[in-house]
Amino acid sequence: MERPRRPERPKPGNDTRGPRPDGGRGGSRPGKRGPRPEGSRGGRPDRRGPRGDAGSGDFRPDRRRERPREGPSARAEAARRLVRIEQDDAFVTLARGAEAQDAAVDRQVTEYVAGVTRWRRRLDMALERAYRGDFAAMEPMLRQVLRIGAFELLITRTAPHAAINEAVDAAAEAVRPDATGVTNAVLRAVLRDKDLEPEVQDADLAERLAVRWSHPTWMVRRWLDRFGEQDTVKLLERNNRAPLHGLRIDGTAAARAAFTDMLREARIDSEPSAYLKDFVRVIRLQPVIRAKWIDRGYCTVQDESTGLVVHLLDPQPGDHVVDACAAPGGKSLYAASRMAGKGRITSVDVSAARLKLLEASRERARTPIETVAADFAEWATTAEPADRVLLDAPCSGLGVLARRADLRWRRSPEGIHELAALQDRLLDAAAAVVKPGGVLVYATCTIEPEENEERVKAFLSRHAGFSVEPADRWIPKALVTSDGFFASLPHRDDIDGAFGARLRRAR
Task: Say which CATH superfamily domain 245-301 falls into.
Answer: Sun protein; domain 3 (3.30.70.1170)
d(CA 386, CA 376): 14
Within 13 Å and on the Cβ side, how many CA atoms surround 242?
Answer: 22
Which CATH number is 304-505's, of 3.40.50.150, 3.30.70.2190, 3.40.50.720, 2.60.40.10? 3.40.50.150
Burial (CB count within 10 angstroms: exposed 0-12, middle 13-18, buried 19+), residue 41: exposed
Greatest CA separation for the chain: 87
pLDDT at 96: 56
pLDDT of residue 5 exceeding 70 = no
d(CA 276, CA 257): 14
> For the whole model, what pTM was predicted?
0.83
CATH of domain 52-192: 1.10.940.10
What does the domain layout of the chain look like in residue ranges? 52-192, 205-239, 245-301, 304-505
pLDDT at 13: 42
Which of 407, 278, 294, 306 is CA-nearest to residue 357? 294
Which member of 299, 325, 395, 445 is catalytic? 445
SS3 assignment, position 105: helix
3-state secondary structure 263-274: HHHCCCCEEECC
Are 498 and 463 spatial neighbours (Cβ–Cβ below 8 Å)? no
pLDDT tens by residue, 138-178: 999 999 999 999 999 999 999 999 999 999 999 999 999 99
Q: Name the percent of the chain lying above pLDDT 90.
A: 74
**Catalytic: 445?**
yes
pLDDT at 7: 43
d(CA 374, CA 13): 50
d(CA 320, CA 386): 5
At position 51, the amino acid (one-letter code) is R
pLDDT of residue 94 exceeding 80 = no
3-state helix, strand, coil in the chain (%, to 5): 45, 15, 40
Listed in order, strand segments (DSSP E) in 210-277 are 245-249, 270-272
d(CA 427, CA 390): 10
3-state secondary structure 340-361: CCCCEEEEEECCHHHHHHHHHH
At position 363, the amino acid (one-letter code) is E
Average pLDDT over residues 224-245: 97
pLDDT tens by residue, 328-357: 999 999 999 999 889 999 999 999 999 999
Average pLDDT over residues 57-78: 56
Which of 390, 487, 483, 475 is CA-nearest to residue 441? 390
d(CA 270, CA 283): 7
- Which residues contact residue 455 at a Cβ distance below 8 angstroms, ignoring those fewer than 6 apart? 420, 423, 424, 427, 442
Average pLDDT over residues 282-296: 92
Residue 93: φ, ψ to 5°:
-80, -35
